[in-house]
Amino acid sequence: MNSHHFNQEPFLEVGIVSGLQLHVTFPTPYCLQQAGKTQENSDLYFEGDHIITYEDGSILFQGNTYDRLHFVPTRADGRFELHDVRIGIGFHWERTERQAFEGEITFIVSNNAVTAINRVLLESYLTSVISSEMSANASKELLKAHAVISRSWLLAQVLKKGKKGQAENGMKETPTERAKWYDREDHDLFDVCADDHCQRYQGVTKASNPNVKRAIHHTRGQVLSSGGQLCDARFSKSCGGYLEEFQYCWENAPKPYLVGKPDRDVKKNETAPPLPDLRHEQEAKAWILGNPDSFCNTHDPAILSQVLNSYDQETPDFYRWKVNYTRQEISTLFAQRSGIDVGDILEIEPLERGVSGRIVRLRVVGSKQTYIIGKELEIRRSFSNTHLYSSAFVVKKTETGFILHGAGWGHGVGLCQIGAAVMGEQGYSYKDILAHYYPSTTLDTLYP
């Protein structure tokens, strides 16, 4: 395999929160480390509550200014807590939490603010990610599968960090069209951030479940590879019944393991009707307005609770959903969210769909001008105060406005979390789950 191997488990630096003033609590003693050395000075040992403040390009802490503050635990079970950590940024359930972390913490100056960075071992990080992304009471095979894909995605990002010519975000724009896609930008000051932009990481706040720890231990160091390279293992909440292909959501660089396919066991559904070509408008419309059988078509609360945390369960409709707008509402929303004033919106016309039925290019006909937007996330952002659940929707024009009937939650590329939860309950192994959502891949172990 051409990808890197490690002699030992690597450390990660995770950006947690930034602000003009950060509140940190040390329930156990932490030592202020300076110039890479721990000073034998009792004045540099800290417990309890402390405020870290940005002031004139420096960090203000207990009356002194610093360029950088680095604290290390004095005990193996050392913990620190950060207050008012914002999670779900830009999503409908956005909120703040008080979160606990293990390992070291560094405060730096960045963009006229203080940023807190947690240095933690990769497997400990993963324990938190799996617990944060879904219920820790999920089936053991689902937890194992998610451990492998989270580890794969993370190391793929870290190993390509800093490489030139790998633009993660892009935009093609003309006077009448904007095609824009969003992906993980390289973080210059740390490896990954703690929110959904990278992977949802909440320290040890929700990382104590022994089932998660067993899943991490069972798959230690395991990653997915394809063609000798680590897999960029994407995942979303619900594919809506059909997996999308990478290039319809991001740059035009198809990946052999992120392909379009039905979210069902074709071998066990040989009598099922042939699948439609969802790139065609009429077939996409019938699919989205229908209720096709698939792994992720479930309303079983026991299964959904494995994947959806309490705030995710505030959204009961994800496999099929509906949004109503008056003409004024949608016209104002589009102008505010996209920055494009087309006037009163008269028509909304899908021009191109991916293999899952997700809209890639959408024409908006207004009283002032006609404009085309894409790709999927740009469309989702332009027609919601946060995000539409997906861009797999059909448009119904009414006398007063528009109704959007949609399918799925997220981009639909790679593993479908709800579908994988169903597979786990039906007795599929984690290797079966990975093979279904990431065909043409193999399991490889990167470190002992």
Please determine, for residue 65, whether its predicted confidence score (pLDDT) is greater than 70.
yes
Residue 159 lies in a domain: yes
Quick one: pLDDT band at residue 387, thresholds 50, 70, 90? Answer: confident
pLDDT score for 107: 96
Q: Are residues 27 and 97 in the same domain?
A: yes
pLDDT score for 94: 63
pLDDT score for 37: 43
Query: For residues 440 and 226, is the Cβ–Cβ distance under 8 A?
Result: yes
Measured distance CA(128)–CA(116) in Å, rounded: 17
Q: Are residues 275 and 181 in the same domain?
A: no
DSSP 38-94: E---GGGEEEEEEEEEEETTEEEETTEEESEEEEEESSTT-EEEEEEEEESTTSTT-
pLDDT score for 318: 86
Quick one: pLDDT band at residue 212, thresholds 50, 70, 90? Answer: confident
pLDDT score for 258: 97
Q: Are residues 103 and 240 in the same domain?
A: no
Q: Are residues 240 and 208 in the same domain?
A: no
Q: Are residues 278 and 196 in the same domain?
A: no
Residue 100 lies in a domain: yes
**What mean pLDDT do residues 381-390 have?**
91
Q: Are residues 282 and 206 in the same domain?
A: no
Q: What's the Rg (C-alpha) of the chain?
A: 23
Mean residue pLDDT of the chain comes to: 88
Instruction: Identify the H or E element spanning 159.
Output: helix 140-159
pLDDT score for 2: 43
349/200: higher pLDDT? 349
148/88: higher pLDDT? 148
pLDDT score for 433: 97
Token readout for 440 is 């043409």
Quick one: pLDDT band at residue 39, thresholds 50, 70, 90? Answer: very low
36/259: higher pLDDT? 259
**What mean pLDDT do residues 181-195 have?**
77
**What mean pLDDT do residues 60-80 have?**
92
Residue 438 lies in a domain: no
Using left for φ > 0, alpha for ψ between -120 and 50, and beta otherwise, residue 447 falls in beta
Q: Are residues 207 and 254 in the same domain?
A: no
Please report the sign of the dihedral spanned by the C-alpha atoms of residue 195, residue 206, residue 408, residue 226: positive
Please determine, for residue 249, whether its predicted confidence score (pLDDT) is greater than 50.
yes
Residue 223 lies in a domain: no
pLDDT by residue (tens digit) across 323-369? Answer: 999 999 999 999 999 999 999 999 999 999 999 999 999 999 999 99
| Among 43, 48, 292, 14, residue whose Cα is nearest residue 129 | 14
Q: Are residues 201 and 246 in the same domain?
A: no
Residue 60 lies in a domain: yes
Domain count, the chain: 2
Please determine, for residue 269, whether its predicted confidence score (pLDDT) is greater than 70.
no
Segments forming the whole domain that contains residue 149: 11-214
Please determine, for residue 1, whether its predicted confidence score (pLDDT) is greater than 60.
no
Q: Are residues 257 and 294 in the same domain?
A: yes
Q: Are residues 199 and 253 in the same domain?
A: no
**What mean pLDDT do residues 139-163 have?**
86
Q: Are residues 129 and 268 in the same domain?
A: no
Range scoring the smallest mean pLDDT among 79-88, 212-221, 296-305, 335-344: 79-88
Please determine, for residue 36, whether its predicted confidence score (pLDDT) is greater than 50.
no
Q: Are residues 320 and 290 in the same domain?
A: yes
